[in-house]
Structure 1
Amino acid sequence: MAVGLAATHAAKRALVIAPQWIGDAVMTEPLLRRLQARGERLTIGALPWVAPVYRAMPQVAEVIEFPFAHGGLQLRERRRLAQQVDGQFDVAYICPNSLKSALLPFLAGIPERVGYLGEARVGLLTHRLKNPSKGKRPPMVAFYCALSGEADVNADRPQLHIDPAAADAVLQVLGLQRGGYVVMAPGAEFGPAKRWPTRHFAELARQLSLPVVLLGSAKEADLCAEIEQGCQTPGLSSTPPPPILNLAGKTSLAQALAVISATRSMVSNDSGLMHVAAGFGVRQVAVFGSSSPLHTPPLNAAAHVVWLKNDPSYQPPLDCAPCFERVCPLGHTRCLNDIRAARVLAFL
């Protein structure tokens, strides 16, 4: 029912229900750019931990932080918020596939509610798109752009923007100089089968000539501490260790975005911060393991992907990849363990 949607939405007030993951939030930006270009005023409804991503998108007029937590329908909170926004929107675009994400637009009586079918929410949507199976799902940017109802949804790449003066203010507080450091983001919330070993991050850091900034959430503080400790271990290199600034769990997401926007380059796993770096167009190396860059690549002309699956010289071939598992089901995690620091260093 999405056919013809684009032609009817000019100058409408739109509520976009955002995904709950940072990387997915970045990958909705091309959708928002399309909607804003045809005259829609965009308000984003987002959970607090992804809201800063949308404040780095100039086309967004307003961000509403949802007071929801993980798990449960939380009907009372959704009804209360629905009453507050009743009559304020003409159309809602619902990016997540969950039932609960479609409840607020329905309860608020928003006339047009666009989303993918799934979780028995057919009655909550007025414009329904078929949800492709996992094996046939397009790259996520195209998946979200299809909500616009427009054709040619594969050409866009996400773009983020932070006012340089605001970013420089963050750098000054942290004692950093624009372009004078390398960011490493060793986390991947999905699981260890997406995380390049910390010993390889440490080995790489010791070979760099610039200071290294470690970014991650409080949950990733142990990973970053392992890298910091590994850089100080004697015998790894004949050169002295680089200065390390471990910011894991010590910055807000807004501050982390500022740090990434001004870095010389960045190394990460397939993670939300990987997509943030792509959105800023910074030089980056993305290390892939159990997941696939064919589905969630860093859409950035300055990005280099390291994935042993598509390396014909790597033997024996990784017939098990991509497995999309949280933990290697075979117990060896060759897809990441066998990526040496020198391989990543070649792209920095």
Structure 2
Amino acid sequence: MIKALVIAPQWIGDAVMTEPLLRRLAARGERITVAAVPWVAPVYRAMPQVAEVLVLPFARGGVQWAARRAYAAALRGQFARAYVCPNSLKSALIPFWAGIPERIGYTGELRFGLLNRRLPNPPEGSRPPMVAFYSALSGESGVDADRPALQVAADAIAAVLAPRGLQAQGFYVVAPGAEYGPAKRWPAGHFAAMAARLEQPVLLLGSAKDDAVCNEIAEAVNSVRPDHCVNLAGRTSLDEAVALIAGAHAMVSNDSGLMHVAAAFGVPQVAIFGSSSPLHTPPLNPAATVLWLKNDPSYQPPLDCAPCFKRDCPLGHTRCLNDITPDRVLSVL
């Protein structure tokens, strides 16, 4: 059995989209250990093909040469192969310093000596969907058909739901955040108007950065329907958030990491896109509906500016999100 180390991406959505790669590696007999930063490690704990998850102890930003070299020294002799998912220089240092014989990844950022099996970087503007991008590291064909899948045991879901008085499929999850910026976030007022009309209770999920907008939504909803909406942003671990999404009746979100988590569980969902494009990072879920005004022929005038991939709307109107109404979301939810 080949022991393989996978260096994980640092974004939740990207971590989800590496699952088909890991499934391919496990199917051909590789024993997989994933090295991941703390905020994505729980995603890998929901992948049964992963034998071990190593939580990397490094702070955000900076190469941290000495810390990485020391960490790599402790891994020497443990792995025969490494797959480096991110394109950065620092992500390739640990496999190199650990002396792992076979080191696979994209050419990336100045990594010619660090990787000895390099895939060429796709040309700018023609990068494949992210699942195929990561699955290609396996060296196998047919990667375009891959779809991520996560699993959490029913008793683990129940352990998170029971203390909150919830039953599986008895609530909605709403994730109004998007780490990238405002041009990916449906307005808080729209979220509140939609959530207030849902029959089952609503849980708001997100990071501590989303607490303010989630408070705004919860207060607006509960002013008309007391105790209907609960703000859990920053109040759950990612392991708990993953279990809550897995147990939800349905989910509504922006284009975000939690959107991809819901997709990988096959949870019915509505995914709202603004400045980004579902052609590149869609929720790969047959139970998903994507709302994106760019490809809606009935929407006039057309959104020639989309997708702009900006953090803030450069034109100042954010029509791509403001003009998706709560009624529209409810009609497909």
Inter-partner Cα distance in structure 2 for 1:286 and 1:224: 17
* Residue correspondence of structure 1 range 83-162 to structure 2 within 5 A: 83-162=73-152
Partner of 2:273: 288
* Aligned position for 1:321: 306
Unaligned runs of 5+ in 1: 1-10, 235-239
Question: Do 1:209 and 1:242's aligned partners in 2 also have CA atoms closer than 8 Å?
Answer: no
| Cα distance between partner residues in 2 of 1:209 and 1:76 | 54
Partner residue, 2:164: 174
Which residue identity does 1:68 align to in structure 2? F
Map 1:113-262 onto structure 2 (within 5 A): 113-233=103-223, 240=225, 243-262=228-247
Is 1:44 matched with 2:29? Answer: no
Instruction: Please give the TM-score of this superposition, normalised by the length of structure 1.
Output: 0.94
User: How many Å apart are 1:241 and its aligned residue?
Assistant: 5.6
Report deviation, 1:98.
0.2
Secondary structure at the aligned position of 2:105 is classed as: strand
Equivalent residue for 2:8? 18
**Is the alpha carbon distance of 1:170 and 1:233 closer, same or farther for their aligned partners in structure 2, counting shifts above 3 Å?**
closer
In 1, Cα distance between the equivalents of 2:188 and 2:326? 11
Contact 1:212–1:242 (Cα < 8 Å) also in 2: no
- State the distance in 1 between where 2:227 and 2:329 align: 17
Aligned-residue identity in percent: 68
Residue 51 of structure 2: aligned partner: 61
Give yes or no for contact 2:3–2:78 (8 Å, CA) kept in 1. yes
Structure 1: how far apart are the matches of 2:213 and 2:124? Answer: 31
Deviation at 1:175, TM superposition (A): 1.9
| Residue-by-residue CA offset, 1:183-239 (whole Å, 9 max, x unaligned) | 0000000000000001000000111111000001111000101111221456xxxxx
- CA offset at residue 280 of structure 1? 0.5
Which of structure 1's runs of 4+ aligned residues deviate more than 3 A?
Answer: none
Mapped contact 2:196–2:228 kept (Cα < 8 A): no
SS of aligned partner of 2:302: coil
1:70 offset after TM fit, Å? 1.1
* Cα offsets for 1:237-258 (capped at 9, x unmatched): xxx4661111111000000000
Distance (Å, rounded) in 1 between the aligned partners of 2:303 and 2:143: 31
SS at match of 1:136: coil
Task: Give the secondary-structure state (helix, strand or coil) at the position aligned to 1:298.
Answer: coil
Which whole-Å CA distance do the structure 2 matches of 1:134 and 1:46 have between them?
27
TM-score, normalised to structure 2's length? 0.98
Gap runs ≥5 in structure 2: none
Partner of 2:260: 275
Helix, strand or coil at the partner of 1:122: coil
State the SS of the aligned residue for 2:239. helix
The structure-2 alpha-carbon separation of the partners of 1:241 and 1:318, relative to structure 1 and needing over 3 Å to count, comes to farther
Equivalent-residue separation in structure 2 for 1:308 and 1:232 (angstroms): 30
**2:250 partner amino acid:** S
- Per the alignment, in what secondary structure is the counterpart of residue 43 of structure 1? strand
Q: Could you tell me how far apart the structure 2 residues matched to 1:94 and 1:346 are? A: 42
| Structure 1 vs Structure 2 CA RMSD | 0.9
- Residue in 2 that maps onto 1:265: 250
- Paired with 1:106 and 1:95, the residues of 2 have a C-alpha distance of 14
The one-letter amino acid paired with 1:168 is A
- Residue 332 (structure 2) pairs with residue 347 (structure 1): yes
Tell me the residue number matched to 2:61: 71
CA distance in 2, matches of 1:79, 1:209: 54
